[in-house]
Amino acid sequence: MASAMGQETTDGPAQNASDRTQTESRVHQRAAEREKLRTSRFDLVTSFLMALILFIGTLTLMVVIIFLTTRWAFPPRPIEPIIENPAGRGENPEGFERDFEPPGAEEVEELMEPTLQDTIEAVTDAVSSVAATLVTTDTTATATTAGTGAGDSRPPGPPGEGEDIIPRFERWQLNFTARDIGLYAKQLDFYKIELGAIGGSIQGVDVASNLSGSPKKYRVVKTEDEKRLYFMWNSPSPLMQFDRQLLGKAGIPLPNRQMLKFIPTQLENELAQIEKNYWESKGYNSVTQIAKTVFESKADGRGYKFEVISQRYRKPKK
C-alpha cells in the first residue's frame, strides 16, 4: 500500500513538468508566428513608396487628360442646311402684280412704222419756216410718258420664281457686345467671321481674317465668286469703329468703301436652325411668316453662342 502511494506521488510532479513544457512550447510557437505576421519597417517603407507612386501616377494622368481636353479642338457637328428659295424681281420694276411694264409713248413712237400721212407731214414740216422740233406728231400713241404696267410683286433680289420669303440678308440682324476691340475680335474669330471692304476705285473686295491676332488679308477680284452671306452696317455703332480699326490693322484701305461682314456657311446653317427652333417655339410653322430675326452673341463657357433676342412676324395676306 505504501509502495503504491509512493509511485503515485512520484508521477505527479513529472506530469506537471511535461505539461508546462508543452505549454511553453506552444507559447513560443505562437510568439514566433506572431513575429512572422508583424509588419516590419521594410514593409512600412515599401507600402508608403508604392502608395506615393500610385498617387503621383493618378495625379499625372488627370493633368494630362485636362491638358488634352483643353488643347484639342473638336470640330462642330455638321448641321443639315435649311435651303431657302426666295423669289426675286431682279431689275424689273417694283409693283403689286407680275407683268412687264409696257413702254411709254415716246418709246412706242420710236418703234412704230410711220404712215404715209405722217411722212407727208414730216416733209411739209421740214420745208416750213416753223421749227419742226416744236411740233408734236399726231399719232395713235397715248399722250403720256408714264407706263401703265403693274410692275413686279416679287421682293428685291436675284430674279427667280421661289417662295414668298424675306431673304436672310434682309431678315437677319447680328448684334455683338464687347467692352473693347480685343473681345470683339475674339468673337469674330470664334465664329470664323471675316471683315471685308468693297467699292471705291479698287476692283474686287479685300477681306481680313485672324482678327484677334495678326490680321491676314486677301483680295477677291471676281466678286461673283464670293458666295458667302454678308452683312453691312445700316446705322452708326461703336462697333463700326472697331471694324475700321481691324481693317486698318490688316492694311486694307477704306476711303469711299463699304465695310462687310462675311458669314461662313457653317455659322449660317447654325443661325437658320436657331431661328427655326425659335419660331416653332412661338407657334409658327414656316419661314414665310418671319419678317425679322435679331440674334445676339453671348459668352458660353470657353466660347460664344448666338441667341434669338427678338423676332417679328409678317401679317397674313388677305
175 and 147, same structural domain?
A: no
Cell of 123: 416733209
Residue 263: name the closest of 170, 205, 191 by CA: 191
Q: Are 135 and 255 in the same domain?
A: no
The reply to whether 297 and 236 lie within a common domain is: yes
pLDDT value for 97:
53
Do 212 and 133 share a structural domain? no
In a domain, 234, yes or no: yes
Domain assignment of residue 26, yes or no: no
Rounded to whole angstroms, the Cα distance separating 74 from 104 reads 63
Please check whether residues 201 and 227 belong to one and the same domain.
yes
Residue numbers of the domain that contains 192: 169-313
Region class of 251: left (phi > 0), else alpha (psi between -120 and 50), else beta: left
Structural domains in the chain (count): 2
pLDDT of residue 198: 92
- CA nearest 238: which of 171, 176, 172? 176
Position 82, amino acid:
I
Domain match, 276 and 200 both: yes
Q: Which of 179, 232, 183 is nearest to 205 (CA)?
A: 232
Residue 197 backbone phi and psi in degrees, to 5:
-140, 135
CA-based nearest residue to 105, from 65, 57, 145, 50: 145
Three-class secondary structure of residue 39 per DSSP: coil
Which residue in this structure is represented by grid cell 402684280? 97
Q: Is 7 within the bounds of a domain?
A: no
Contact 114, 123 (CB under 8 A): no
Do 173 and 119 share a structural domain?
A: no
Residue 220: which residues within 8 A CB-CB, separation 6 or more?
204, 205, 207, 226
- Both 289 and 230 in a single domain? yes
Q: Judge residue 272's burial from the number of C-beta atoms within 10 Å of its C-beta, 0-12 exposed, 13-18 middle, 19 or more buried.
A: buried
pTM over 0.85: no
Beta strands in the chain (DSSP E): 172-175, 194-199, 205-209, 216-220, 229-232, 257-263, 290-300, 303-313
304 Cβ contact partners less than 8 Å away, ≥ 6 residues apart: 187, 190, 191, 297, 298
Residue at 199 is within a domain? yes
Same domain? 262 vs 177: yes
**Length of the chain (residues):** 318
CA dihedral 237, 157, 209, 292 (to 10 degrees): 50
Answer left, alpha or beta for residue 226, where phi above 0 means left and psi between -120 and 50 means alpha.
beta
The answer on 122 and 194 residing in a single domain is no
CB-CB contact of 86 with 156 (8 Å) = no
Is 158 domain-assigned? no
Q: Which residues contact 239 (CB under 8 A, 6 or more apart)?
A: 176, 178, 184
Q: Specify whether 149 is located in the same domain as 173.
A: no
Regarding whether 225 and 111 lie in a shared domain, the answer is no
Residue 251 covered by a domain: yes
With respect to residue 104, please indicate whether it lies within any of the assigned structural domains. Answer: yes
**The pLDDT of residue 67:** 84
- pLDDT at position 129 is 42
State the virtual CA torsion across 233, 238, 243, 245 in degrees, nearest 10. 150
Confirm whether 277 is domain-assigned: yes
- List the pLDDT tens digit at each of the 318 positions of the chain: 444 444 444 456 666 777 777 777 777 777 777 776 777 778 788 888 999 999 999 999 999 888 887 776 656 566 677 777 776 655 555 555 555 555 555 544 544 555 555 555 554 554 444 443 333 334 443 434 445 555 555 555 555 566 788 899 999 999 999 999 999 999 999 999 999 999 888 888 999 999 999 999 999 888 888 889 999 988 888 899 999 999 999 999 999 999 999 999 999 999 999 999 999 999 999 999 999 999 999 998 889 999 999 999 998 876
Q: What pLDDT sits at residue 111? A: 46
